Amino acid sequence: MELWYTEKQTESYGITAKVKETYVNEQTDFQQLAMIETEEFGTMLVLDGMVMTTDKDEFVYHEMVAHPALNTHPNPEQVLVVGGGDGGVIREILKHPKVKRAVLVDIDGKVIEYSKKYLPNIASGLDDARVEVHVNDGFMHIHDHKNEYDVIMVDSTEPVGPAANLFTRGFYQGIYEALKEDGLFVAQTDNPWFKADLITSVNRDVKEVFPIVRVFWANVPTYPSGLWTFTMGSKKHDPLAVDETAIPERETKYYTPRLHKAAFVLPKFVEDLVK
């Protein structure tokens, strides 16, 4: 008998993958968590029925959360990741020698625990000496740490459950206050095929807080529609003003210096969402 996992991404559309083994399937204090082994994508982390990351395509998302922001800020010494308990964004941050301290704040310690066990290639940086890991509410952490970070990265689930507060104007204002005078932040902002209104509202809210706002995108096969957007809000530094020739080559699979500005060139229908 074949076993398949299906994520119902809308009321009438979803993706499915053949399952080899189920490692974890439990209700944590915050969400339903599953770790499954699939034939096509390897180990897959699923939260509340939504695919968060997989062995096969994780590098796209994690690289694009980390590198455009860290290559835009000239001296990103203090970096915060809100969410991201799998550790993928932290792993990418550690490729930047200017980073002196990387703080991870995830509300669900079980995500961190099981990622270390079942996704070791993704969680490989969580025990690094430059990394601080806190099991806490990211919203409150930002509220309690004013003027502390150079770069803040929001690696959240979709705006449901414990992540709902991470898509509000108040949260973006809190990020602004937690950043230093030339700080910037980046957040995943879902897909334009099924969540067009969300992208528009997030962009409007971030523009009310930050003087420089840019949207960029990448292809992540296991995320709804595959076309995924990210939003950067910055106090001073514009990612489009970065000298691509000065970006060092790093050990990446998706992001490159040539891709840095290209990722900010939006398809027309996405461009229209953020005018």
Distance CA 204, CA 201 (A): 5
Distance of CA 109 to the CA centre of its chain: 17
Catalytic residues, by residue number, are: 155
Beta bridge partners of 6: 16
188 SS3 class? strand
Beta strand pairing call for 32-38 and 149-155: unpaired
Torsional sign, CA 185, 162, 138, 128: negative
- Output the six-digit token pair for 192: 């334009």
Torsional sign, CA 62, 68, 74, 79: negative
- Output the six-digit token pair for 225: 């529609």
Distance of CA 251 to the CA centre of its chain: 19
Beta bridge partners of 80: 103, 152
Note whether 20 and 35 are within 8 A (CB). Answer: no
Note whether 69 and 153 are within 8 A (CB). Answer: yes
Distance CA 173, CA 243 (A): 29
Distance CA 48, CA 70 (A): 30
Burial class (CB in 10 A: 0-12, 13-18, 19+), 207: middle
